[in-house]
Chains A and B, each alone.
Chain A
Amino acid sequence: MSETTAEAEKAPVPATPSEPKDDQRWSQAMRDIVGGNAMISVLAVFLALVVGAVLIAFTDEQVQETAGYFFSRPGDMLGAVWQAVSGAYGALFQGSIYNFRRDGFLAGIKPLTDTLVYATPLIVAGLGVGLAFRVGMFNIGGRGQMLIAAAGAGWVGFALDLPPVLHLIVAVLVGIIGGAIWGGIVGLLKARTGAHEVIVTIMLNYVALYLISFLLRTPGALQAPGSNNPKTPAMKETAIFPDLLGPQYNLHAGFLTAIAATIFVWWLLNRSSLGFQFRAVGENPNAALVAGINVKNIYVYTMLIAGGLVGLAGVNQVLGTVTTGFSSGIDAGIGFDAITVALLGRSKPVGIFVAGVLFGAFKAGGFSMQAAEGIPIDIVLVVQSVIVLFIAAPPLVRAIFRLPTPGTAPRRQLPIVTKEVKAK
């Protein structure tokens, strides 16, 4: 920025303004890509996979054995390392994207559809968490919002009798509303009493968990009739998300809701009046207040929508993935994984979509990695956690890859620099 201001004042009559400007714009764009957020995310994933590879190699028996005589025949150990790591990541790939061992493309591509199934709730819940991030709020209440939504949608799904399409729509809506209410309570408490959303969401997670557990044990509520297990009856056929690609694949229409939700959040944040206010409050609540935006109401709206989105993840679980009835573990930790997804996706809708698919792939591939290579699925969890670690420390990633820091100077000195720029 400094250069332009300087230029503008040195030469008030812009002689050939377009050329240097374009030049700067390109170098700036280059800087944004290399030093910016997307690149950091990609590199964080890469680094995490490297860390995962080290762990796989260290825990591999073959590697340990060959390490004993490393100095006499180093090739053995390196070969073993290669075999272990490539085998593991190969299995991860085959379990999540394309399985070469199956005959034909249609059978081979099945893992990819599994990935998308796992990705669906991660994406919508990630959108809910990411949306709250953009307004400056930390929505840790994914679990509670998902459980309430799952209970609502599930109850409509197994207890009511409605015509085919209508039943599904009602169930989905009830679920979304359930999640929205659970999130909205948080927004309301924050706006009216100043309660911190982190505390409130965590506590509401417990409230939801034990409330659902109680209902699951209460005959006539959520518990399946004639059963002693804390589990609901199976969903009725009319309320289940239909298969998208036929019965041989698990992919259901819930994935379409993930796509729709992504488009909706993109529109909301980038094109709508409400989203403009969301972002203004998120970036600078003081300026938003002075500009006449009702910051408190924005908190409530945000948590309503965020809760609804996370709720949709719960809906997807009960009406798409586990249609045979659910227990209180239906959220499957997605509410927390969604935080990681939102972080990795930089709280941007498209980024969250991509991050959700990646984590879906980890889930789908993790199982086959365990089955095929005997590598514990915990390695996948380590990789996921290390991703977050690297994302939380962009300077570390930049230092490893020697990337330029955005904004030329180190952050600390930035204000001083801009101050000086004024004079230029």
Chain B
Amino acid sequence: MKLELRGITKRFGALVANDHIDLTVQSGEIHALLGENGAGKSTLMNVLYGLYQAEEGEILLDDVVQKFAGPGDAMNAGIGMVHQHFMLIPVFTVAENVMLGHEQTTFGGRLDLEAARAKVREISARFGFHVDPDALVEGLPVGVQQRVEIIKALSRDAKVLVFDEPTAVLTPQETDELMVIMKQLRESGTSIVFITHKLREVREVADRITVIRLGKVVGEASPTATNTELASLMVGRAVELTVAKNPPVLGEPALVVRDLSVIDPQGQVVVNNVSFEVKSGEVLVIAGVQGNGQTELTEALLGLQPHVTGSIELDGKSLRNRSVRKILDAGVGFVPEDRTQDGVVAEFSIAENLMLDRSTSKPFVKAGNLQLNFLANFAREKVTEFDIRTQGIDSKAGRLSGGNQQKVVLARELSRDLRLFVAAQPTRGLDVGSIEFVHKRIIATRDSGLPVIVVSTELDEVVALADRIAVMYRGGIVGIVPADTPRDVLGLMMAGEPAPGTGEAA
């Protein structure tokens, strides 16, 4: 089915999220929609899926103008969507999830589960998915859950499939498998819109590429374009994809972690017997697919996990079983993984957020009183130094863009006297420009002689920042390898296979 969007314009108040966007997806084509976070990709797809109504423009399927009042209309017209966050019910089986929303019934209103099972089997067989219709969704690996989403869309005879950032949660191997599936779907005549901001995937699988920036189509490219060309199209200027850095000046081991285990409140061992050390002046990147214990490991370092065994020593002093306050005072700077939840207080001003973790001591507090003049000067200084784009230091942090919020967090953490810097997923959800800034700051911190730990799930970032890479899988460290380890080896390690040759040592 041929999909055509003509002059789609979507406004939110004064903001134009989509500005006369034209897009044509031919039948049996994988069309990549490339753009930074917030460029308007998701808005466009929500318009297509009937979640938003466009102010101007029209949607055509096989040259027939469509009117979608809601997702139901879009589905009936043959549009399916595979969301970034799966819309599945964990305690239902695959078949139940697939039939959810258009349940077939037999006599007396009983659910016709058998029909749903047959449908799942039929689609699985067609594409070689190997999905058991009676498996509970919560027990399935992420990659398989995604296939359930695809089956769900196909079971409604979707002729146009929209994949919204489908690779964000996948291992490199699962990503490769998804690419194969997408190609299969293309062979069977399905049109695919593939939303992403990862350049490599686009070049591998896309037939055509449309780049969106600031809500406008800024160009079309062929898959043969280089990464740099695509990136500069996306950002609108030349971007340094690699981080310029000198070889590390290594010092003594500053942070020494031995036999660290973390047990979560449900009694699960989420970090299992992990040992590593970080030297001053070194960046250790902890790589791995989301949810393999990295979060809990960093939380344990900061004293946020209640059940921790083993030892954590910074400059010879134990950090285990200390309060967060004491650990911060010992000089640990921390950029939390979930910025909006743990990093900033949205209702606080930028200035207040800048003093958030120094709310009890000098220089921000004297004799129980806030030093507002000092804070204002400090905040103004940091806003300039970290290039925080804001109306003023009294603006609420919640009104800042993600990149600027992250700059506030960085400014706060890096302006203390640090002995160790821990950044968990510091660039997640940021635009390319902010990523560049954050990376430069991290390397600058390393060059000032601090030990730095960065948690990242993006291979590009891992390779760009690391002096050494520790790969985590299911709570354990698969191996610690040098920064020049090939990507495919890292990918295998992220799936749990130890690196060939190097073994566990390092």
Instruction: Point out residues on A near B: beta carbons under 8 Å.
Output: 1-5, 8-9, 21, 24-25, 271-274, 276-277, 279-280, 283-284, 286-294, 408-409, 413, 416-424
A24-B391, A290-B324, A409-B13 known; A419-B37 Cβ under 8 A: yes
A1 — nearest CB in chain B belongs to which residue? B399
A421–B401 touching, CB < 8 Å:
yes
B12–A292 touching, CB < 8 Å:
no
When each residue 391-425 of chain B gets 1 if its CB lies under 8 Å from chain A and 0 otherwise, what string results? 10001000111111000000000000000000000
Flag whether B184 is at the interface (Cβ < 8 A): no
Known: A5-B390, A287-B343, A423-B215. 5 other contacts (CB 8 A): A2-B15, A8-B389, A273-B364, A290-B302, A291-B359
Report Cα–Cα, A294/B322, bound state, in Å.
Answer: 12
A280–B359 touching, CB < 8 Å:
yes
Of the candidates A1, A288, A290, A421, which one forms a contact with B38 in the assembled complex, judged by CB atoms under 8 Å apart?
A421
A413–B12 touching, CB < 8 Å:
yes
Question: Which of B152-160, B281-289, B368-376 lies at the interface with chain A?
Answer: B368-376
A284–B346 touching, CB < 8 Å:
yes
Report Cα–Cα, A284/B348, bound state, in Å.
Answer: 10
A276–B399 touching, CB < 8 Å:
no
Report Cα–Cα, A279/B35, bound state, in Å.
Answer: 38
A9–B389 touching, CB < 8 Å:
yes
Flag whether B314 is at the interface (Cβ < 8 A): no
Of the candidates B323, B325, B348, B401, which one forms a contact with A283 in the assembled complex, judged by CB atoms under 8 Å apart?
B348
Of the candidates A288, A294, A420, which one forms a contact with B215 in the assembled complex, judged by CB atoms under 8 Å apart?
A420
A408–B348 touching, CB < 8 Å:
no
* Nearest CB of A to B47, in Å: 12
User: Using a CB-CB cutoff of 8 Å, which residues 122-153 of chain B contact chain A?
Assistant: none
B370–A271 touching, CB < 8 Å:
yes
Of the candidates B15, B338, B352, which one forms a contact with A421 in the assembled complex, judged by CB atoms under 8 Å apart?
B15
A276–B359 touching, CB < 8 Å:
yes
Residues of A within 8 A of B404 (CB): 5
Flag whether B36 is at the interface (Cβ < 8 A): yes
Of the candidates B12, B213, B328, B345, which one forms a contact with A417 in the assembled complex, judged by CB atoms under 8 Å apart?
B12
A414 — nearest CB in chain B belongs to which residue? B12
Flag whether B334 is at the interface (Cβ < 8 A): yes
* Nearest CB of B to A292, in Å: 4
B341–A287 touching, CB < 8 Å:
yes
Flag whether B43 is at the interface (Cβ < 8 A): yes
Residues of B within 8 A of A3 (CB): 14
Of the candidates A273, A416, A417, A424, which one forms a contact with B214 in the assembled complex, judged by CB atoms under 8 Å apart?
A424
Of the candidates B347, B356, B402, B403, which one forms a contact with A291 in the assembled complex, judged by CB atoms under 8 Å apart?
B356
* Nearest CB of A to B453, in Å: 16
- Sorted nearest first, the 7 A-B pairs with minimum C-beta distance are A422-B38, A291-B357, A408-B13, A422-B401, A423-B38, A292-B325, A273-B365
B329 — nearest CB in chain A belongs to which residue? A292
B431–A422 touching, CB < 8 Å:
yes
* Nearest CB of B to A263, in Å: 14
A284–B43 touching, CB < 8 Å:
no
Report Cα–Cα, A420/B11, bound state, in Å.
Answer: 10
Flag whether B115 is at the interface (Cβ < 8 A): no
Report Cα–Cα, A418/B36, bound state, in Å.
Answer: 14
A423–B213 touching, CB < 8 Å:
yes
* Nearest CB of B to A140, in Å: 24
Instruction: Point out residues on B near A: beta carbons under 8 Å.
Output: 12-15, 17, 35-40, 42-43, 213-215, 302, 304, 323-325, 327-329, 334, 336, 338, 341-348, 352, 355-357, 359-360, 364-365, 368-370, 372, 389-391, 395, 399-404, 431
Residues of A within 8 A of B37 (CB): 419, 422-423
A1-B395, A420-B38, A424-B214 known; A292-B324 Cβ under 8 A: yes
Report Cα–Cα, A291/B324, bound state, in Å.
Answer: 7
Report Cα–Cα, A1/B254, bound state, in Å.
Answer: 42
A417–B368 touching, CB < 8 Å:
no
Residues of B within 8 A of A272 (CB): 368-370
Residues of B within 8 A of A420 (CB): 12, 15, 17, 38, 40, 43, 215
B352 — nearest CB in chain A belongs to which residue? A276
* Nearest CB of B to A375, in Å: 42
Report Cα–Cα, A287/B405, bound state, in Å.
Answer: 13
Question: Which DSSP category, helix, strand, loop or mixed, fits chain B's interface?
Answer: loop
Report Cα–Cα, A4/B336, bound state, in Å.
Answer: 27
* Nearest CB of B to A288, in Å: 7
Residues of A within 8 A of B347 (CB): 283-284
Residues of A within 8 A of B348 (CB): 279-280, 283
Report Cα–Cα, A423/B356, bound state, in Å.
Answer: 27
A409–B390 touching, CB < 8 Å:
no
Report Cα–Cα, A294/B304, bound state, in Å.
Answer: 11
Residues of B within 8 A of A289 (CB): 304, 324, 342
Residues of A within 8 A of B304 (CB): 289-290
Report Cα–Cα, A280/B355, bound state, in Å.
Answer: 11
* Nearest CB of B to A210, in Å: 37
Residues of B within 8 A of A273 (CB): 359-360, 364-365, 368-370
A423 — nearest CB in chain B belongs to which residue? B38
A276 — nearest CB in chain B belongs to which residue? B359
A293 — nearest CB in chain B belongs to which residue? B359
A21–B391 touching, CB < 8 Å:
yes
Of the candidates A287, A292, A423, which one forms a contact with B342 in the assembled complex, judged by CB atoms under 8 Å apart?
A287
* Nearest CB of A to B336, in Å: 5
B323–A294 touching, CB < 8 Å:
yes
Of the candidates B214, B215, B323, which one forms a contact with A292 in the assembled complex, judged by CB atoms under 8 Å apart?
B323
Report Cα–Cα, A416/B51, bound state, in Å.
Answer: 12
Report Cα–Cα, A292/B324, bound state, in Å.
Answer: 5
Report Cα–Cα, A390/B474, bound state, in Å.
Answer: 52
Of the candidates B12, B14, B342, B360, which one forms a contact with A416 in the assembled complex, judged by CB atoms under 8 Å apart?
B12
Of the candidates A286, A293, A417, A418, which one forms a contact with B341 in the assembled complex, judged by CB atoms under 8 Å apart?
A286
A287-B341, A408-B13 known; A1-B400 Cβ under 8 A: yes
* Nearest CB of A to B405, in Å: 10
Report Cα–Cα, A1/B397, bound state, in Å.
Answer: 11
Residues of B within 8 A of A417 (CB): 12-13, 15, 17
B338 — nearest CB in chain A belongs to which residue? A286
* Nearest CB of A to B100, in Å: 23
Residues of B within 8 A of A5 (CB): 389-390, 401, 404
* Nearest CB of B to A306, in Å: 18
A422–B402 touching, CB < 8 Å:
yes
Residues of A within 8 A of B395 (CB): 1
* Nearest CB of B to A359, in Å: 27
Report Cα–Cα, A276/B360, bound state, in Å.
Answer: 9
Report Cα–Cα, A3/B399, bound state, in Å.
Answer: 12
B357–A292 touching, CB < 8 Å:
yes
* Nearest CB of A to B296, in Å: 14
B348 — nearest CB in chain A belongs to which residue? A283
Report Cα–Cα, A167/B14, bound state, in Å.
Answer: 64
Residues of B within 8 A of A286 (CB): 338, 341-342
* Nearest CB of B to A151, in Å: 31
* Nearest CB of B to A199, in Å: 22
Of the candidates A2, A271, A287, which one forms a contact with B345 in the assembled complex, judged by CB atoms under 8 Å apart?
A287
A-B contact pairs, 23 of them (CB 8 A): A1-B400, A2-B14, A4-B391, A5-B404, A25-B391, A271-B372, A273-B360, A273-B364, A273-B370, A280-B348, A280-B359, A286-B338, A286-B342, A290-B336, A290-B343, A290-B357, A292-B325, A294-B323, A294-B325, A416-B12, A419-B38, A420-B38, A423-B213
Residues of B within 8 A of A416 (CB): 12, 17, 42-43
* Nearest CB of B to A412, in Å: 11
Report Cα–Cα, A419/B431, bound state, in Å.
Answer: 11
B368–A274 touching, CB < 8 Å:
yes
* Nearest CB of B to A70, in Å: 46
* Nearest CB of B to A166, in Å: 27
Report Cα–Cα, A276/B349, bound state, in Å.
Answer: 12
A1-B395, A280-B345, A287-B343 known; A423-B39 Cβ under 8 A: yes
Report Cα–Cα, A312/B117, bound state, in Å.
Answer: 68
B341 — nearest CB in chain A belongs to which residue? A286
A25 — nearest CB in chain B belongs to which residue? B391
Residues of A within 8 A of B334 (CB): 290
A3 — nearest CB in chain B belongs to which residue? B14
B334 — nearest CB in chain A belongs to which residue? A290
